[in-house]
Amino acid sequence: MMPARSWLFVPSTRPDRFAKAAASGADRVILDLEDAVGPGEKSDARRNLSSTALPRDVPVYVRVNSALTPWFEDDLAVAATLPIHGILLPKADSAAHVERAAAALSREHVIVPIIETAVGLWNVLDVARAPRVERLVFGALDFALDTGMQDDAGAFDYVRSHIVVASRVAGIAPPIDLVTLAIDDQDLLKAEAARSRRFGFAGKLCIHPKQLGATNDAFRPSGEEIAWARSILTEQAARPRDAVFAHRGELVDRPVLERARQIMAAE
């Protein structure tokens, strides 16, 4: 599977930026019809998507407006005609929201629901198991607005864990974490991306090309991790009959070997 570390938003009102976004180093590009587009600009933004040559060298998604808005059906009608990988579905509160989107899209389009309300979190496993869901996104900013919780001091630890576990149970790809709003604060970005990885997320939403390098790096194995994995697998190759063995004072069994193989596969 192609890397899914950095997901760069581009307003659909700015077709001049579509190709630039694809060439920026982002793993995925999201053409936004929702928060980046004002109510009076929705129709023009949809026309931009239909009339502009969309990038083909990276997977492209369209973030439509939610099923709770008057723009949902028109957004889906346009998305269904586009050569894109799929859509991001905001405020995916139930499997029914996903099913409505799946019914309107082309068969090859995938759906990435955004979990950003208390109801969406409550129903997250049903959402993750809905038709054509590729993975989930945690929309922490709207979740904070909906619940009154704040993303500090570990308040969202349960939320992140629950989304990751639901994704695994549903058999879909690992989820993507929230944006970092501070564009120029690389230390904060690195810290938040490292946290996302520790919780089992595969990547992170980005709002500016400046955020891509640090985000991509955060979801790659470190040099220390690669050296550890390589030494474990070298030792195992030298003693193929041993299901369990000690290596540098560490017990190595099947889960440890599998972790080492995962790290080397992601190098």
Write out pLDDT tens, residues 131-171: 999 999 999 999 999 999 998 889 999 999 999 999 999 99
Q: What whole-number distance in Å separates Cα of residue 12 and Cα of residue 82? A: 13
User: For residue 46, what pLDDT is reported?
Assistant: 98
Q: Count structural domains, the chain.
A: 2
Over the stretch 174-204, which tens digit does the pLDDT of each residue have? 999 999 999 999 999 999 999 999 999 999 9
Output 175 or 256, whichever has higher pLDDT.
175
| Same domain membership, residue 111 and residue 241 | no
| Same domain membership, residue 153 and residue 259 | no
Instruction: List C-alpha distances in Å: 203 to 216, 227, 254.
Output: 8, 23, 26
| Same domain membership, residue 200 and residue 261 | no
Structural domain of 19: 6-218
- Give the highest mean pLDDT range of 1-10, 88-97, 220-229: 88-97
Over the stretch 92-138, which tens digit does the pLDDT of each residue have? 999 999 999 999 999 999 999 999 999 999 999 999 999 999 999 99
**203-206 and 6-11: which strand pairing?**
parallel
Residue 1 belongs to a domain: no
User: For residue 32, what pLDDT is reported?
Assistant: 98
| Same domain membership, residue 187 and residue 161 | yes
| Same domain membership, residue 173 and residue 243 | no
